[in-house]
Amino acid sequence: MSSKTALVTGATGLLGRQVVRAFERGKWNVKGTGYSRADGVSVLKVDLVNAEQLTAALDDVKPQVVVHCAANRFPDKCDKDPEGTRALNVEATRRLASLCAARGILLIYISTDYVFPGKPGDAPYEADAKPQPTNLYGQTKLDGEYVVLEEYQKAGKAGLGVVLRVPVLYGDAEVPAESAVNILLDNVWKAQESVSKIKMDHWALRYPTNDISVKYLGSDDKSKLPSILQFSSEDKCTKYEICQRFGEIMGLSIAGIEPNTEGNDPNASVQRPYDCHLSTKALKDLGIDVSTQDFTGWWRWNVKAFRK
């Protein structure tokens, strides 16, 4: 069997690190790209908006598969830097897709549940449901989907460009701010000493998902497979309910955290969806295991809060 090689963009991030580990468990040769945290050995320093650096990385690694995890993925930061966000989330994605399509490389583009409006009563969203992002982050990720599929279509390699949508993630974070879930545990600790109550969203539903593995690589005829896939857990909760779970796990009071059931401030620049739950039907139809780690169980293990 020939050597299998994968390249993972954003390999120093929360999701990218897990994707690299998934390839390593599958005995792949795997390289990552990063920027500020790249070590230049297992993670190559590549500015994804630089066409020459991107081309050099692909020609050096010669991967059969590229998983594109890199993105500006924080909605508030996206709003503050729309030009930079589009440069990374859309234009760099287009360039990567064009280069990969020309080389016959399978590209798995990691997208988000925020491509959907998340109106009450709409979820779960099937892969072919109409996207309608409520903020710039969601819009740029949707535009990224379009350019990936478009570039592969133009190159006559439509089956090799794949979109994989995932929801909010948690996992082994280097700093809590890497994940919108991990940082909630930080808030629970801060609430122990805070004089004033911390307001926490108790309106929008989230489906935190751990350890995404790449399993869409086995078919010889990829043109018959769906171009858009979705992965999610079924474990729904608001941010406040996640804080409640953390309090129970750690034996900490969350009296200093106040549930906010008001939803979006209509005057806020970033509008967040209520419920963007993704249907995993397309993956199930392919016979791919969509089971996920139990949220409470994983966090008990992670913080070593074992119960006898």
Q: What is the DSSP letter of 227?
A: S
Query: What confidence score (pLDDT) does residue 144 get?
Result: 98
The CATH number of the domain covering residues in 5-171+208-234: 3.40.50.720
Q: How far apart are the first and last CA of the chain?
A: 47
Which residue among 109, 125, 137, 216 is the active-site one? 137
User: Model's pTM, two decimal places?
Assistant: 0.75
Element (H, E) at 34: strand 29-34
- Residues belonging to the chain: 308
What pLDDT does 258 receive? 83
Rounded-to-integer distance, Cα 112 and Cα 39, Å:
28
Q: What pLDDT score was predicted for residue 15?
A: 83
The pLDDT score that the predictor gives to residue 207 is: 42
User: Taking the chain (308 residues) in consecutive chunks of 10 residues, what is each chunk's mean pLDDT?
Assistant: 80 85 86 87 92 96 94 90 96 98 94 92 93 95 97 92 81 53 64 69 45 43 73 78 80 82 77 85 78 67 60
Instruction: State residue 22's pLDDT score.
Output: 82
pLDDT at 208: 43
Q: What is the pLDDT of residue 114?
A: 92
Kindly write down the DSSP assignment for every residue of 112-173, as one continuous string.
EGGGS---TTTPSBPTTSPP--SSHHHHHHHHHHHHHHHHHHHTT-GGGEEEEEE--B-S--
Tell me whether residue 137 is one of the annotated catalytic residues: yes
What is the b/e burial string over 22-32, where b = at least 16 CB atoms within 10 angstroms of the residue's CB?
Answer: bbeeeebebbb
Residue 211 pLDDT: 34
pLDDT at 110: 93
